[in-house]
Amino acid sequence: MTDFLASEDRALLERHGLGTFDALWAKQLEAVDEPNTARGGWSSVFRLDLEGQGYYLKRQSNYLTRTLHAPFGEPSFAREFRNVSRYRALGIPALDAVFFGQRKVDGEVRAILLTRALDGWDDLDSLLQRWSHLSSAQHSAILRSCGQLARQLHSVRQVHGCFYPKHIFLRATGDGYQAQLIDLEKTRPLLFGRRDRVRDLEPLVRRAPEWNEGQLRELLAAYVDEPQSSSLVDSWVSRLTARRSHKESR
């Protein structure tokens, strides 16, 4: 497979001698967390800063997953890169891939995925931790932005698969918030209509106990593009509440 290198970042990476797979693999950096060592290999994430531009450099070795695309296994970054590319083509706001490549070296399968850091953005998880200190106008803007992001995702028949607060990033703008998604490894086509949509949304609701029912209705009103008092919002509240209760009772 030919390596991918985003044209917008090529010159910057090449100025620092980092425009190739081998250079990115050899670059000495400190990992931002402990490596993941599941699946018989390892996968690790590093922070890279070049001339004020931040990146996350992800490297893995023999960290394989089986997919329909590769039934005998492929690096999980390969699947994530395809999903990043699909989101971009579909116009779904998400992280940007800068470099992707994979190699087989003496029986070892290596892969690299470089993405732009979302500096200046906050993940929803951190916003929820200070939810009580935000204004009601900020609450409404965040809920509306998250609901619209989910609507945009599902309207092009995609489910995220890990629609959690830590995977939704927001940035304040003059009149509200922008939102986008990260961690696209588990994304798949939406196949089962409302069932898939409920299953995708429910983890977000369950992981946001700071939201009261009125705020949940704000989120869902933005999601279905209807007034908060509509019967369609009533229906979605009921479905999500029922699934949440079922998950919490297990």
pLDDT (tens digit per residue) in 82-134: 999 999 999 999 999 999 999 999 989 999 999 999 999 999 999 999 999 99
At 226 the pLDDT is 97
CA-CA distance, 187 to 79, in Å (whole number)? 9
Please return the burial class of 130, using the count of CB atoms within 10 Å of its CB with bins 0-12, 13-18 and 19+: exposed
130 and 110, same domain (yes or no): no
At 248 the pLDDT is 80
Q: Where are the beta strands (DSSP E) in 42-175?
A: 42-50, 53-61, 64-65, 74-75, 97-105, 108-116, 122-123, 158-159, 168-173
Tell whether pTM > 0.85. yes
Answer for the pair 109, 62: CB distance below 8 angstroms, yes or no: yes
Helix (H, G, I), strand (E, B) or coil at 87: helix
214 confidence band (pLDDT: 50, 70, 90): very high
CA-CA distance, 148 to 223, in Å (whole number)? 5
112 and 215, same domain (yes or no): no
At 87 the pLDDT is 97
Q: What is the mean pLDDT of the chain?
A: 95
Of 116, 141, 160, which closes a domain?
A: 116
How many separate domains does the chain show?
2
pLDDT of residue 34 exceeding 70: yes
163 and 49, same domain (yes or no): no
pLDDT of residue 1 exceeding 70: no
44 and 159, same domain (yes or no): no
At 2 the pLDDT is 86
Structural domain harbouring 85: 4-116
User: Which stretch of DSSP H or E encloses residue 107?
Assistant: none
**CA torsion 51→56→61→66, rounded to 10°?**
-140
CA-CA distance, 13 to 19, in Å (whole number)? 5
14 confidence band (pLDDT: 50, 70, 90): very high
State the average pLDDT over residues 172-180: 93
182 and 227, same domain (yes or no): yes
State the average pLDDT over residues 23-34: 96
State the average pLDDT over residues 226-231: 97
180 and 245, same domain (yes or no): yes
CA-CA distance, 114 to 53, in Å (whole number)? 13
129 and 92, same domain (yes or no): no
